[in-house]
Structure 1
């Protein structure tokens, strides 16, 4: 998906070339993946002569949100607090990132001031 999102549209050969460089996957593996993404409705495949052009039907943001929800449900039973605690304890977080997290949490649930 990342290759197609970056290019807006790509041929199978372009996707294969990009993924072979970074993953070492064989061309059949990439073609199978493309077919599955088309079947799932996240990629469109349009015939262009003797090749197909693939276009994203789902934005990266939507895909990340849906996969994030799926991961949260599968791994943490839907408990976002458990997920956050797990990652905060195991991550190397800068002071600026901590302040950003605090800001986001306060935005979500503002504290009442006496």
Structure 2
């Protein structure tokens, strides 16, 4: 992904369905498959999903294959990079770029599990070793 693509909250739902499908190395998805995946979670109609897919195509985040007569949708952008850009934007917007303030917010609320604390400590130790 050469350019940053800003996804709306609703677009994240669709992208996650497409990324999950891609992770399973399946073919591109038809509109009805995407709608079915999202129906219970969001209650969206196929018209709503189609509108959001068109927006994602315009943004360069999704491609559509029309060669078989049935529109099939797949992602054009990498999930990890998209998540990283969204996290960086959130961190800058809410915590003025301070990771320590972000972690402290969750630590004070007791929302970091023992396993997550261990993961954070491992990351910190790994960063120290790389210095």
TM-score by length of 2: 0.72
Unmatched segments (≥5 aa) in structure 2? 1-14, 23-27
Q: Kindly report structure 1 stretches of 4+ aligned residues shifted beyond 3 Å.
A: none
**Structure number, greater radius of gyration:** 1
Q: Does the alignment pair 1:4 with 2:4?
A: no
Which whole-Å CA distance do the structure 1 matches of 2:89 and 2:106 have between them? 17
Contact 2:106–2:112 (CA under 8 A) maintained in structure 1? no
Cα RMSD of the aligned pairs, angstroms, is 1.8
> What is the correspondence of 1:1-114 to structure 2 with a 5 Å cutoff?
1-8=15-22, 9-109=28-128
Deviation of the 1:86 alpha carbon: 1.2
Gaps of 5+ in 1: none
Q: Which stretch shifts more, 90-99 or 15-24?
A: 90-99
* Count of equivalent residues: 110
Q: Deviation of residue 46 (structure 1)?
A: 1.5
Inter-partner Cα distance in structure 2 for 1:48 and 1:13:
17
Q: TM-score, normalised by structure 1?
A: 0.81
- Per mean C-alpha deviation after superposition, the further-off stretch among 25-34 and 83-92 is 83-92
